[in-house]
């Protein structure tokens, strides 16, 4: 089995590790990539193609794991060469994924979404998928992946992902904002204790992990919230709008700051005015 990745960041490198361990040949290209991505690729035993056209031609399954803003562009550039199944795993709205996959000329496409933390779960992370070629994509379950088919239409997997994003990122933003206020008043520990009384076991650890990852991934979350907003056409999604604004502002604040945070206090210190 040959799997080609377009984009090689956290998602592609994590899945590749597991796939290679299960005997899959992984392909990608260094074409146009930053130093960060080049180092990541060169550190792993990945087959490096001259360009993405070559990746697409050689692979049985192609996974687009770029950044949300580039999902359509890459599909447009390489879609005409694809003989394989093309899977879009980017966090994009159903409308964006439909547009991206419309450029795949052989129509062998699947919409896919990662549910949960890929960092924590590695190749076992739950991936939901929908579309005509979802069944072929799910064959990667034979190589260690955890793919669940949820429908036959492109857009169904992304819809669920966007709804989940709206909920989880909204909660993270609210938690960040309230804990930051408590921190400024030297009441953060007491505030967490108050919440722990009524929240589920393990709340403190997961709350702190949410805060730190909100800081680390603020820019990506701001982009993903734009996709959520595009999808939320029912009613007036003002909480999602506020969440998008929150992550945009946080991302600007953290723009030139080293994003290594020892704990949430260290992150709050770095963004304090």
Ligand X SMILES: NC(=O)c1ccc[n+]([C@@H]2O[C@H](COP(=O)([O-])OP(=O)(O)OC[C@H]3O[C@@H](n4cnc5c(N)ncnc54)[C@H](OP(=O)(O)O)[C@@H]3O)[C@@H](O)[C@H]2O)c1
Q: Which residues bind ligand X (CB under 6 A)?
A: 6-12, 33-34, 36-37, 65-68, 70, 73-74, 89-91, 114, 118, 224
Q: Which is nearer to ligand X, 18 or 192 (CB)?
A: 18
How many residues does the structure list for the chain?
273
Please report how close the Cβ of residue 194 comes to ligand X at its closest, in angstroms: 30
Q: Which is nearer to ligand X, 34 or 206 (CB)?
A: 34
> Is the distance from CB of 109 to CB of 85 less than 8 angstroms?
yes
- DSSP H or E run through 196: helix 188-198
Q: Which residue is nearest to ligand X (CB)?
A: 9
Please report how close the Cβ of residue 241 comes to ligand X at its closest, in angstroms: 19
Please report how close the Cβ of residue 234 comes to ligand X at its closest, in angstroms: 23
HEC letters along 28-49: EECCCCCHHHHHHHHHCCCEEE
Strands 85-88 and 61-64: parallel
Please report how close the Cβ of residue 267 comes to ligand X at its closest, in angstroms: 18
Strand partners, 109: 86
Q: Which is nearer to ligand X, 37 or 168 (CB)?
A: 37
Q: Which is nearer to ligand X, 12 or 85 (CB)?
A: 12
What distance, in Å, lies between the first and last C-alpha atoms of the chain?
Answer: 52
């Amino acid at each position: 089995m040959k799997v080609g990745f377009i984009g090689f960041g956290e998602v592609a490198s994590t899945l590749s590790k597991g796939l290679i361990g299960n005997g899959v040949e992984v392909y990608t290209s260094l074409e146009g990539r930053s130093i960060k991505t080049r180092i990541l690729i060169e550190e792993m035993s990945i087959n490096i193609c001259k360009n993405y056209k070559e990746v697409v031609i050689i692979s049985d399954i192609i996974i687009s794991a770029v950044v949300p803003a580039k999902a359509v562009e890459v599909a447009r550039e390489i879609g005409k060469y694809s003989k394989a199944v093309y899977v879009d795993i980017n966090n994009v709205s159903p409308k964006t994924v439909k547009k991206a996959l419309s450029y795949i000329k052989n129509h062998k496409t699947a919409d896919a979404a990662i549910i949960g933390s890929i960092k924590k779960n590695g190749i076992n992370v739950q991936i939901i998928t929908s579309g005509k070629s979802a069944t072929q994509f799910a064959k990667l379950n034979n190589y260690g992946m955890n793919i669940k088919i949820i429908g036959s239409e492109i857009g169904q997997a992304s819809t669920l992902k966007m709804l989940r994003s709206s909920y989880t990122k909204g909660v993270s933003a609210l938690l960040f904002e309230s804990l930051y206020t408590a921190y400024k008043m030297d009441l953060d520990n007491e505030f967490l204790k108050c919440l722990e009384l009524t929240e589920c076991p393990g709340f403190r650890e997961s709350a702190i992990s949410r805060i730190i990852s909100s800081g680390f991934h603020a820019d990506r979350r701001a982009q993903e919230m734009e996709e959520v907003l595009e999808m939320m056409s029912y009613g007036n999604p003002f909480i999602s709008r506020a969440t998008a604004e929150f992550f945009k502002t946080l991302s600007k604040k953290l723009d030139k700051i080293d994003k290594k945070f020892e704990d949430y206090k260290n992150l709050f210190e770095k963004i304090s005015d």
